[in-house]
Amino acid sequence: MADSKAKTRVAVAGLGAIGADVVKALDRGIDGLMLVAVSASSPEKHRGWLAELKTAPEMVPIEQLAEVADIVVECAPSKVVRAIVAPVVERGKTAVVLSVGALLQNEDLVDLAKTHGGQIIVPTGALIGLDAVTAAAVGTIHSAKLVTRKPVAGLVGAPHLVEHDIKIEGITEPLRVFEGSARDAAKGFPANLNVAVALSLAGIGPDRTRVEIWADPTVTRNTHRIEVDSDSARFSMTIENIPSENPKTGRITALSVIACLRKLRASLRVGT
Ligand SMILES: NC(=O)C1=CN([C@@H]2O[C@H](COP(=O)(O)OP(=O)(O)OC[C@H]3O[C@@H](n4cnc5c(N)ncnc54)[C@H](OP(=O)(O)O)[C@@H]3O)[C@@H](O)[C@H]2O)C=CC1
Ligand SMILES: O=C([O-])CC(=O)C(=O)O
């Protein structure tokens, strides 16, 4: 009993490709943390597997997560980010945010966290190298660019493609479907380009971070290459993500969240 009191209470909003794996990892055990609650849009869909966990969490509406947990992990659609994160940071608590693009439409959430002593954590997620980018940003970054290549299934239906009548179904060669700022990439591809916003927040911001997006029928993985030039280092790195059951989301994303949660109370932390 004394042990559980000392633990930090964690809730998970969204039980899809990312959230379900995070819940299972918390249930298996992460030092210093205990899973207390979850939210989903169709709770009944999840009752079966949740009941099989060692300790079944409470299912609550997103607005109530902040009342019952110290850390809320957001793994839900971007349109509900505000409803999840605002009550958390207003209470001086911690929100781990995966739908990073939504932070650009809700920039005041960061101010809200500052005012109330809360914190918003953006894990590296599906990307690579944010440790190096945040380090370089302590000095001066001259330029930062992301080139993303996704299989057609990872992009289909994105608002930018619909608005500009860009047809990608049936293409046989790579097609560049977007070139512009991370801010515009987030608007045009809200469910596909959180990585662009994460890179921009770690580095030189959403207006100066450049993004290219390719629909590429020759790749089976969501592939992100970052290219950064700074006064301390020049680096480029590529990650090739195996899609999860949600073709828009790489498998490594949930693992990144789990690694991030492990770091919160770890005796040894490696990486920036
Ligand atoms: N930062 C990064 O690197 C990455 C970020 N992402 C982002 O993370 C988010 C989650 O991704 P992913 O797990 O693949 O998404 P999924 O579509 O697989 O899952 C979304 C989950 O959100 C739940 N949900 C929807 N509406 C609500 C609501 N109103 N209240 C509570 N729960 C709700 C759904 O419930 P139900 O199951 O009942 O339908 C579902 O469980 C997305 O915004 C995605 O763009 C994705 C990949 C990488
Ligand atoms: O950027 C995203 O949100 C998801 C992504 O590309 C990936 O999982 O590879």
The complex's ipTM works out to: 0.97
102 and 24 in one domain?
A: yes
HSE of 261, CA atoms in CB hemisphere, 13 A: 36
* pLDDT one-digit tens code per residue, 120-142: 999 999 999 999 999 999 999 99
179 and 73 in one domain?
A: no
Residue 50 beta carbon below 6 angstroms from any ligand 2 atom: no
126 known member of a binding site: yes
Does any domain span residue 247?
no
152 and 46 in one domain?
A: no
Does any domain span residue 32?
yes
CA distance 106 to 262: 27
The alpha carbon of residue 269 and the mean position of all alpha carbons in its chain are separated, in whole angstroms, by 20
Residue 73 CA: which ligand is closest? 1
- Is residue 224 among the annotated active site residues? yes
CA distance 137 to 124: 16
Classified as helix, coil or strand, 212 is: strand
Domain CATH code at residue 171: 3.30.360.10
Domain housing 8 = 2-125+252-264
* pLDDT one-digit tens code per residue, 230-265: 999 999 999 999 999 998 899 999 999 999 999 999
138 and 110 in one domain?
A: no
Classified as helix, coil or strand, 96 is: strand
* pLDDT one-digit tens code per residue, 91-104: 999 999 999 999 99
Classified as helix, coil or strand, 20 is: helix
Q: How close is the Cα of 271 to the center of ligand 1, in Å? A: 27
| Nearest residue to 160 via CA among 186, 181, 196, 198 | 186
71 and 44 in one domain?
A: yes
Would you say 200 and 182 are in contact if contact means Cβ atoms under 8 Å apart?
yes
Amino acid identity of residue 77, one-letter, is P
**Ligand 1 closest atom vs CA 76:** 22
Q: How close is the Cα of 123 to the center of ligand 1, in Å? A: 15
CA distance 11 to 242: 26
20 known member of a binding site: no
Please give the tally of structural domains in the chain.
Answer: 2
Residue 99 beta carbon below 6 angstroms from any ligand 2 atom: no
Q: Measuring from each residue's beta carbon to the nearest atom of ligand 1, which residues come in under 6 Å?
A: 13-19, 39-42, 45, 62, 75-78, 80, 98-100, 125-127, 191, 194-195, 198, 246, 249, 253
117 and 37 in one domain?
A: yes
Is the pLDDT at 18 greater than 70? The verdict is yes
Does any domain span residue 270?
no
Across the range 148-165, mean pLDDT stands at: 95
* pLDDT one-digit tens code per residue, 183-223: 999 999 988 889 999 999 999 999 999 999 999 999 999 99
| Structure confidence at residue 190 (pLDDT) | 87
| Structure confidence at residue 209 (pLDDT) | 98
